[in-house]
Amino acid sequence: MGLRQEYINLIGKELIEEFEEESEKFGNRSILMVSSFKKSKGVEVLVGDLKELFSEFKIKIDFKILIGDKKFYDVVDNLLIGIQNENYNKENINEYLKFFNERIITYNYELLSELDKYDMIIVHDLHSFGLISFKKWNKWIWHAHLDLTRPDRDLWGFITNLSENYDKVIVSANSYKLNDKWVVLPPGLNPFSLKNKEIEKIDEILLKNNIPVNKPLVVQVSRMDRNKDPFAIFEIFEIAMDFGGDFNFVYKTILPEENNLLKDFLKKIERCRYREHFFINCSNDDILINALQRKAVCVIQESKREGFSLSISEALWKRTPVISTGVGGIPLQVRDGYNGFLVNTEYKSHYRKIAEAIIYLLENKDKAKEMGINGRNLIKENYLMILHGLDYIKIINSLVH
C-alpha cells in the first residue's frame, strides 16, 4: 500500500486532494534542503519524512549536508548557548561569519557550485544559516528549529539582521515570530514510520532489551544533553519513589558527544537509592522507542528549552499522556489536565510537581486512558506529517508564484 493510500485510510481524501492541487501549482520546480546532521538528528528525520511525502506527489527534494571543521561546530555550539540566553563568547558571532566568508569553500565546494541550480533553497537550523550570503536569483527559506523564547540580545540582533536576506523564516510557535516574513509551521509526525506505526509483541520487545515488564513503566525519550536536564530525571524519579511509587523508570537516549556528561550520569545512577528500578538504554532502535512509548503509563519530557519536541508528539500519538515542563513550544502539544500535565519551571518545587503527576497517573488509570485518547486526537487533528507537508508546500508556492 502506498503512502498516499495509507493517509487516505487514516484521515480521508480531502487533504490528499488539496495536496495534489498544490503539487500541480509547484510544477517542475526544484528544491534543495541543506543542513548539518552532525548536530541535527531531529532535522534529519524531518527532512527524510518530507522527502518521502513530497515524492508521493511528484515533488523532488534534493538534500545536501553542510560540512564544517571542528572549530565551526564548536562556535555554533557556543552560539546555541547564547540562544538559550546563557553565558557565551560573543566573539563567536564574528567567528561564525568568518567561516562562511573564508573557510566554507574548503569543505563545501560542490554544494556552493550547485546553489544557483535550484528554484528554492531551504536551510535548516543555525549551522547552515550563514549560507544566505551566497544567495543569487532563487528563493530562500530559513527553517529555524530553535526555541527562540529568550535569546541573548546581541545574538538575536545578529540573527534578525541576517534573516532579512531570506524570503521566509519558518518557526514552530507564534511567540517566536518577528514579523510577517516569519511564518509558523510546527513539525509533523510520520504515523507510518518504524517509531510510530502500530506494533505487536510489545512485552517481548522490551524483555529482549533487558527492560522488565513486571511493573508499570514511566519513560523519558530524549538525547542526553544539558538542555534536556538529564540529571533532573533522578531527582524526579527518587521523589516519586519516596511518595510510594511502584514502577520502573526507563531513560531512552543516545550516547552524548560530551564524554564527561555520560560519566557523570553513570555515577549518578550508581548513587541512586532506587537504582534497581532505573534503566537506561542508548541503542539506536526506533522499534524499542515505539514499544516504550506504548507501554508507558506516562512519558516525561523534562527540558530546559524546546523548540517543539517531536518525542512528545510520538508519545501522544500512542495514547500516552505526557508530563512536561512548559518551556518553548511544548504547550502547543501538552494541554494541562487534558492530555497530560505542564509544570512551571520557575517554581523551585517543579521536580516535586512532576513526581506528583506521575503518582496521580499511576493511581488513576481511567484518567490516564482518557488523557491518552485526547493526546492521540490532538496529534491527528493538528500535527501529522501530511498537515506539515501541505503547509510547507503552500509556503513554498507563495514564493515561487
Model confidence over 348-374: pLDDT tens digits?
Answer: 689 999 999 999 999 999 999 999 999
Q: C-alpha cell of 111?
A: 554544494
Q: In what order do the strands lie in the sheet with 139-143?
A: 61-65, 31-35, 120-124, 139-143, 168-171, 182-184
The CATH code belonging to domain 3-188+384-400 is: 3.40.50.2000
Same fold flag, 3-188+384-400 and 202-382: yes
Find, among 318, 274, 331, 289, the residue nearest to 205 by Cα. 289
Does the domain at 202-382 match CATH 3.30.160.100? Answer given as: no
Taking the C-alpha atoms of residue 167 and residue 243, their distance in angstroms, rounded to an integer, is 53
Strand ranges, E, within 92-241: 120-124, 139-143, 168-171, 182-184, 217-221
Residues 269, 365, 357: CA angle, nearest 5 degrees: 50
- Quick one: which H or E segment has residue 381? helix 365-382
C-alpha distance from residue 336 to each of 17, 318, 332, 342, 374 (Å):
35, 18, 11, 5, 11
**Which phi and psi (to 5°) does residue 252 adopt?**
-95, 115
Q: Tell me, what's the pLDDT at 254?
A: 81
Q: What is the DSSP letter of 182?
A: E
Residues 189, 313, 155: CA angle, nearest 5 degrees: 90
Taking the C-alpha atoms of residue 74 and residue 84, their distance in angstroms, rounded to an integer, is 16
Taking the C-alpha atoms of residue 56 and residue 385, their distance in angstroms, rounded to an integer, is 13
Q: Tell me, what's the pLDDT at 338?
A: 97
Residue type, 158: F
What are the residue ranges of helices labelled H in 84-143? Answer: 92-98, 104-114
Q: Tell me, what's the pLDDT at 258?
A: 64
Taking the C-alpha atoms of residue 109 and residue 107, their distance in angstroms, rounded to an integer, is 6
Strand ranges, E, within 204-285: 217-221, 248-252, 278-281
User: Tell me: the pLDDT tens digits for 103-147?
Assistant: 898 999 999 999 999 999 999 999 999 999 999 999 999 999 888
Which residues in the chain show pLDDT less than 50? Answer: none
Q: Tell me, what's the pLDDT at 175?
A: 87
User: Tell me: the pLDDT tens digits for 12-36?
Assistant: 999 999 999 999 999 999 999 999 8
Q: Tell me, what's the pLDDT at 273?
A: 85
**Which phi and psi (to 5°) does residue 215 adopt?**
-130, 160
Domain ranges in the chain?
Answer: 3-188+384-400, 202-382
Q: Which residues of 122-155 are buried (b: 16+ CB within 10 A; e: fewer)?
A: bbbbbbbbbbbebbeebbbbbbbbbbbbebbeeb
Q: Tell me, what's the pLDDT at 280?
A: 92
Strand ranges, E, within 50-96: 61-65
Write the DSSP string, 353-367: HHHHHHHHHHH-HHH
